[in-house]
Amino acid sequence: MTTKKTEQQTQSWQSLAFVWTGAMICVPSLLVGGTLIASMALWQTILIALIGYGVIVLFMIYQGMQSSDLGIPAVSVASQVFGEQGSKKIISIILAIACLGWFGIQANVCGAAFSQFLGIYGINLPVPVSSLIWGIIMLLSAIYGIRILSILNYIAVPILLLVCIYGLIVSLNDGGLAVVQNYKPAGSMSFMTGLAITIGSFALGAVIAGDYSQYTKSRKDVVKAAIVGILPSGILMIAVGAILALTAGTADISVVFTKLGLPVLGIIGLILAAWTTNAVNAFSGGIAIINVFNISEKYHKVAVAAAGGLGTLLAVIGILNHFVPIMSVLSAMVPPVAGVMIASYWIVQKGDKSKWAPVPGVNWLGVSAWLVGAVIAGIPVILTFFPSLPQLPNQPLIGIILSLAVYLVGAKILAGKTNNVGNLEGK
């Protein structure tokens, strides 16, 4: 069943674009730029950013339009292609863990930077306490939903852009421009590896795009919001991160501004960047938790608080020092979800929302297709735990394409046995 959006629930494409821009302008995006520039030329780094985020936008559009058509979030849309139980017990758990993990990472980064900032003035605030404070602040904004996120981003995004551009201009002075012009990369990274890093940095955002696009009025709004919200800000952040890494020796905006004697400006930029991104993580994590435990929609704020609270707890106890390998595995497991959902809704059902309906139990065709894509994409990640074995480049895009292809092949084979592929449920 679809949900009819009320006037209070709808949002403009500009509002959604600001949400996506706020999610893109974050420390990890800067660090991606710093990682790429260490092994390739600046023009290659920017080209990879354009192609990588272009791929992300494409998947966001298809994922977002499903939810806009049906008026429900991504995990609910998945209840057909994976089955109601498959969506709840497999997909929602994966998405919940991924959102909680990224929330914890951002809260930890923000807490550490704020403690370091206070240390400049002789104030000793332990990192766990700082992480707790900022985690609570971030989840409170997410509790009040999409409209509060929009307001937060309308305030934060212009400030973030000004901080990044100012940092870029200052870093290019005093010989910085010459450093960029004369730069010769010392390392070597393949184009496909760089592309994998870029796509993987926001693959989760592509999968959960429907959580926010469900409030848009039309498919056109989803398209405009994704293109305007992701591409300019994503390319800018990678370019800024790359140039700062060359001119200042680090892509961490707070460290750059501290070196420039402007620590207040740097910490404002970092906090706002982490805040806008974490509000998205907590909001989507709450939706996933609702689906896992079959919680009533009226308790959505409680679920969002639980998601943010668990993420904050991870940051406080320091478990995130060991959480990055787990997140790497999830980066291989999450993207194939989009491959299966796109194959079902857009190719098999040809984008006709009247053909969508939740399937009881488990849709084993969808689950199997996702599993194939996740396992193949996860092999390079698993090999990193065994340095003595030959290493393979991590390619989240391969997982998406494989899961899509496997689903389509399975649907074709089973089409002769049933007139309704969507109702291939487990018993």
For 256-315, the pLDDT digits (tens) are: 777 767 788 878 877 887 887 887 888 888 888 888 888 887 777 888 888 888 888 888
Residue 226 — very low, low, confident or very high, per pLDDT cuts 50/70/90?
very high
Query: Which CATH class for the 10-416 domain?
Result: mainly alpha
- For 323, other C-beta atoms within 10 Å of its C-beta total 20
* pLDDT the model gives residue 426: 43
CB 278 within 8 A of CB 107: yes
Query: In this predicted model, what pLDDT tens digit does every residue of 155-173 receive, in sequence order?
Result: 777 887 888 888 888 888 8
CB 286 within 8 A of CB 304: yes
**Global pTM value:** 0.82
Q: Give the tokens for residue 374.
A: 């996740």
In whole angstroms, what is the distance from residue 158 CA to residue 148 CA?
Answer: 16
Count CA atoms closer than 13 A to 321's CA, side-chain side. 6
Of residues 354 and 424, more confidence is placed in: 354
Q: Which amino acid is at 361?
A: G
Query: In this predicted model, what pLDDT tens digit does every residue of 349-366 receive, in sequence order?
Result: 999 999 999 999 999 999
Residue 425 — very low, low, confident or very high, per pLDDT cuts 50/70/90?
very low
Q: Which of 338, 97, 109 is nearest to 205 (CA)?
A: 338
In whole angstroms, what is the distance from residue 3 CA to residue 378 CA?
Answer: 36
Looking at 248-361, list the stretches that DSSP marks H as alpha helix, in order from N- to C-terminal side: 253-259, 263-293, 300-317, 324-333, 335-342
